[in-house]
Every structure is written in structure tokens, then in C-alpha cells.
Amino acid sequence: MTTRRESVLGARPLVGALYPPGDKSISHRALIFNAVAEGEALVRGLLDSADVDSTKRCLRGLGVQIEEVGLGEVIVYGRGWSLDEPAAVLDCGNSGTTMRLLGGLLAGQPMHVVLTGGGSLCKRPMGRIVEPLRKMGARIDGRVGGELAPLSIRGGALRNIDYRCPISSGQVKTAMLLAGLQGQGELVHHEPRVSRDHSERMLSAMGVAVRCFDRFVAVQGGSRLHAMDMDVPGDFSSSMFFLVGASVIGGSQLTLRSVGLNPTRTGGLDVLRKMGARIEVSDSQVVCGEPRGDLHVQYTPLTGVDIGGDDIPRLIDEIPILAIAAACARGETTIRDASELRVQGTDRIAATVKMLRCLGVEVEERPDGMVIDGRGGALEPTEIDSFGDHRIAMAGAIGLAATYGDRRGYVTRADAVSVSFPDFFPLLFALQTEHERLNTLT
């Protein structure tokens, strides 16, 4: 990663309409599930980003043919549960979803595969998939007793288990489902709080009998998947940067079209509304088992709230941008139960606290979150380091867009956005200057 520096204009309303990029979680699953399905599938609206490229690269290394047929459009030629042993190590880049999901898939394949990744991925915990997959009979090794990548996987026959997962994680749950679908008997996965359920929805739509209820999901070993054409909705997590930006910058009025509104993902929307944000939904529909709709948002003064408990898995990726909403709001916001953020590619609690302090916000760091003293208005122009984290880069940019006066701020290591939203900076600039263009035209 280079050290690209982006400048951001302050105090310009966000005006216009946009289609956010395709959902990252659904894009990974659309590729992986169709790769092991029977038949061919056309996937449209796929996110074009570094993380999804990592999944494509690894699947191709396993012999899966993925044909690029247009912008965000691919045909995946399903192999059933029969992949090729790769000749080389598979590089997951910095994508935790790629490594954890493929870890589960490869645990059931009779071959030897090594999964590695970039510097930040090799620091992220992998014991959370390695330990239960070993219980099912997979032979997996890694650094620090299997806690860290590179992971060496000798897959094969698996015995399904009833697993009580100590953490709520869509990635761990999906790894277990991918292994369980190849195992003997029924795989049961319990989690303490409900995590994102894209896998359950997609597998059901692809013909798998998925039993799920609240914090429990079960599948039968030996299940087959039918390839399914898919249209990936816009990413709710990427949309949140603009929902918050338009809520906190005076004069803003935005429409975000065709955004994924799966309730296991939209905790950030509930919190923003609790803070007083004016966000309306229109044109709701369900496509391939996933709800989506258009979101309309306009500026309104916000007030602080408490964020924690069961809501955390529903907004885990949104905490840096919710922290920006809290910084601009009147009153105090407390974020708790979010210690999982310490083991993302960066320590996201520490990075968010640093970002807020640069923007002139008073904040107390806690082991599992933070307490933010809202300024009840604009932030201070400054320079923000993304620490190589895409969500800090984008949250920081929205913080800078919400500063007072006609000043510029800067985000360093801004190229981190390529992980989930490569066009973020030009799009932000276009929305900031749209009202000037409209004024010139009238």
C-alpha cells in the first residue's frame, strides 16, 4: 500500500443521488457459494474491490472458472464440491472474509492448501475457525498453534458437530456452514448474538435446507447447492458514510439507491434514527432473499445515544462512522461491548479515538469502546491517518467534510479505500460540488 494523500473540502452540503458499490459480504458469498454449486451463475452488481479480487484470485487458484463479462458482472462455473489442489500458496490479500470462509470450505476438501495474506491479515485471529474445524477432524496448522496465518490446511472427511461459538461472527458461522455442508451428519452452530445472516439466506435460495432460529443455524452434511443468478444489492456499510455525512452537514439532501437493508446489517440505521436523523426508505423489495430499498436522507441536528449489547454485531463495521455522527451530535455517546474492533486489521477503537481527537473531539477510550463528548456542530479541519484501514479513511473523510469554514483537510494512506469502496473520494467530491453545479445551472 502506498501513502496516497487525499484532500477533502469542509462545510459543503452533500446533494444528489448515488448507487453505492455492491455489498462486500454478499459479493464474497456469491462467488464462493456459486463456485461449489452445480451449474453456471451470472452474478451482477458484484463489488469491484481489492477484497473481492482476493476471493476471485483464490477461487481461480482452486480451479474455478470465473469469467468477467461486464462491469461488476461475472459468470461463475460451479464445480460442485470438487476443487483442484492449487500448485501454489493462495494469497488472501488483506481480506479476513476470504481467509475465514475459504478455511471452512477447504477443511472438507481432500487436499493440501496454504492460505496466506498481507501483513495486516497475518495479525488477525484465525483460532476462531481453526479450533472448531479441528474438532470436526480437519488438520490445520498455523503460527502460534494455529492462531495466526499462514494456515496450512489438510482437508478431508469431516464429522459434523454441535458448536457453541463464543463470539458472534458472520465469518466464523459461514466457515462452519461451508465445512458442515461437506461433513457427516448435522452441523449446528450457536452464537451469543445474531450475526449477519447472508449465508443462511443465500444457501436457502440455492436449494439447501437450512434450519435457523434466532442464534442457531443448522445444515445437513452432503447437501448440494444449485447455482443461482444473483443481483448484489448496494452495500449498507458503504452507504453509512453518506447517510452520516448528509445527516451532519447543513443543507444536505441525498438519495442512495438500491441499498441492502438486511436487518442483521442495519443496526447503524436504527442508531442514527435514535439520534434524530431523518432517513426515509422507499421502493423496498426482496431480491434473491435479500431486502433492499432506496434511502433518502437530509440534514438534521443529532443528539448522543448509548450503543451496545445485541446491536453491536448489527453495526460492527459502522462504529468509526457512528463515532463521527456522535462527534457532531449534541450530548454524550457511549459505545460499549465492541472489543471485537481491537482485532480488525487495525485496532479500530484506538484508530477511531485518534481520528476523533485530531478533529478536535473530546473522547475517553475504554477497553470495549469509548465515550464521545459531542460538539453539537462542526469539527476542526486537520490531517487524519487511516492507519491503512478503509473504514477509518472514509469515516475520517466524512469528519473532514463536516468541518467548519471553507477549509481543506487531508486523509493520509487514503488508498485503503480500495478494499471496499475504490471510488469513494471522487464520489464524495461530486456530491459536495453538486449543489454548486445546480446553482450555476439555475
Q: Tell me which residues touch ligand S3P (CB under 6 A).
A: 25, 97, 169-171, 174, 195-196, 316-317
**Main-chain dihedrals φ then ψ at residue 68, nearest 5 degrees:** -85, 120
Distance CA(219)–CA(199), nearest Å, equals 11
Pick 231 or 317: Cβ nearer ligand S3P: 317
Distance CA(417)–CA(259), nearest Å, equals 19
**Main-chain dihedrals φ then ψ at residue 152, nearest 5 degrees:** -105, 120
Closest CB to ligand S3P: residue number: 170
Residues in the chain: 442
Q: 230-231 and 40-44 as β-strands: parallel, antiparallel, unpaired?
A: parallel
For residues 67 and 92, the answer to whether their CB atoms sit within 8 Å is: no
- 3-class secondary structure, 367: coil
Distance CA(233)–CA(5), nearest Å, equals 30
Pick 150 or 345: Cβ nearer ligand S3P: 345
Pick 375 or 391: Cβ nearer ligand S3P: 391
Q: Angle 348-353-358 (CA atoms, 0-180°, nearest 5)?
A: 125
Pick 25 or 252: Cβ nearer ligand S3P: 25
Nearest of 13, 10, 77 to residue 297 by alpha carbon: 13
Q: What amino acid is encoded at 292 in this protein?
A: R
Pick 267 or 304: Cβ nearer ligand S3P: 267
Strand partners, 247: none
Active site residues: 317
Peptide bond into 320 cis (omega under 30): no
Pick 24 or 354: Cβ nearer ligand S3P: 24
Largest CA distance in the chain: 69
